[in-house]
């Protein structure tokens, strides 16, 4: 079996998780990762024995990498020439610049949610529009919140149809270990509608969506409350049963001890998941209620790791490894071990 060769640009919060995710796929080969400086993530890579080759995305910084004793296998352009497709997890705006390198060598690429939609041919989600990504040269993923939100909405939409959704996002202000947002004791509200609602409509144009976003001074995940109007009236128990069938949705309850975002982060660590990551979103069965025909529920978004499966899906679609969403997402789930806890 010919393995698809993959490179990762940007070895930060998302990039290192993408590298780990690709390395777990039996039908893919991680050629290497690229970064610009001896960051903590790169230093940790060295201390772990360099399981992945490192390429420098900024040759002018080679001296700093050499001084830190970090071996370099070449430049970003060298990496691009050796792969079939790149996963670009660089800071917003850098991906657009890197695209010129990918185009120069005729290589496909997948960009993250921070890039503008115009960077790609397809705004992609593994479950909601997998087939639109088939054979595409450039795909862009949705943000972490939008990725998890679409999983839940698409899940119900495929079973009973969804007319409209209204969301409130309680958004963590920064990732664990980040200091750039400062030390705060405040909540901050954005203008409505939130981009996640707009992005959902871009992926699922048949669903009317709107939303509000509130920034909170926490780090371990977002919580989204959703009010969804189904086309077919269903009970709470029927809705929960639909959610429970989805491999990337973990249905939990307060009675089990899942009191909030921190409970889920701790549980992921207790499971032994690297970095406390969890690929699934969590949905509280205790939160599923009805108001007339409308369904309301709450989900938890593990922002550092939730988009990894959809990135792998994007590789499968772009390289036409599997031709439909069911087989493509199933392969990704199998190698990442997603859904095994349900069996």
Which residues are known to be catalytic? 144
What per-residue string of b and e applies to 223-251 under the rule 16 or more CB within 10 Å gives b? Answer: bbbbbbbbeeebeeebbeebbeebbbbbb
CA distances in angstroms from 211 to 149, 162, 170, 229, listed in the order given: 11, 16, 11, 14
| Residue 35 marked ligand-binding | yes
CA angle 35, 36, 41 (to 5 degrees): 55
DSSP H helical ranges for 204-260: 236-245
Q: What are the beta bridge partners of residue 169? A: 213, 224
3-class secondary structure for 20-36?
HHHHCCCCEEEEEEEEC
H-type helices in the chain, by residue range?
13-23, 40-47, 62-67, 76-82, 94-104, 144-160, 195-203, 236-245, 261-270, 308-318, 325-336
Distance CA 212, CA 198 (A): 11
With H, G, I as helix, E, B as strand and everything else as coil, classify residue 250. Answer: strand
What span, in angstroms and rounded, lies between the C-alpha atoms of 22 and 240?
31
User: Cα separation of 249 and 259, whole Å?
Assistant: 17
Could you tell me which residues are annotated as the binding site for NAD(+)?
35
């Amino acid at each position: 079996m010919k393995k698809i060769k993959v490179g990762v640009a940007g070895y930060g919060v998302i990039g290192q998780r993408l590298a780990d995710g690709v390395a777990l796929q039996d039908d893919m080969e991680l050629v290497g990762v690229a970064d610009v400086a001896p960051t903590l993530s790169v230093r940790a890579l060295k201390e772990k024995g360099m399981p992945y080759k490192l390429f420098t995305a900024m040759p002018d910084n080679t001296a700093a990498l050499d001084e830190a004793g970090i071996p370099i296998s070449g430049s970003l352009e060298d990496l691009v020439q050796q792969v079939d497709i790149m996963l670009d997890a660089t800071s917003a705006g850098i991906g657009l610049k890197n695209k010129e390198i990918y185009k120069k060598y005729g290589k496909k690429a997948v960009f993250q949610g921070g890039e503008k939609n115009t960077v790609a041919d397809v705004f992609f989600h593994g479950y909601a529009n997998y087939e639109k990504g088939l054979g595409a040269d450039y795909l862009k993923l949705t943000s972490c919140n939008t990725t998890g939100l679409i999983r839940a909405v698409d899940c119900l939409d495929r079973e009973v149809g969804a007319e409209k959704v209204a969301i409130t996002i309680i958004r963590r202000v920064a990732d664990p270990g980040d200091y750039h947002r400062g030390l705060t004791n405040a909540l901050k509200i954005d203008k409505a509608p939130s981009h996640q609602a707009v992005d959902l409509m871009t992926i699922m144009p048949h669903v009317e969506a709107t939303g509000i976003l509130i920034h909170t001074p926490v780090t371990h995940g977002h919580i989204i409350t959703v009010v969804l109007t189904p086309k077919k009236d269903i009970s709470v128990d029927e809705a929960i049963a639909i959610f429970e069938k989805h491999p990337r949705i973990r249905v939990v309850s307060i009675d089990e001890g899942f009191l909030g975002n921190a409970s889920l982060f701790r549980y992921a660590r207790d499971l032994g998941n690297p970095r406390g990551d969890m690929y699934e979103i969590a949905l509280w069965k205790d939160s599923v209620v009805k108001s007339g025909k409308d369904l309301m529920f709450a989900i938890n978004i593990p922002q550092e790791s939730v988009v990894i499966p959809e990135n792998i899906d994007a590789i499968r679609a772009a390289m036409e490894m599997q031709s439909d969403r069911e087989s493509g997402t199933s392969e990704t789930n199998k190698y990442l071990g997603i859904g095994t806890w349900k069996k």
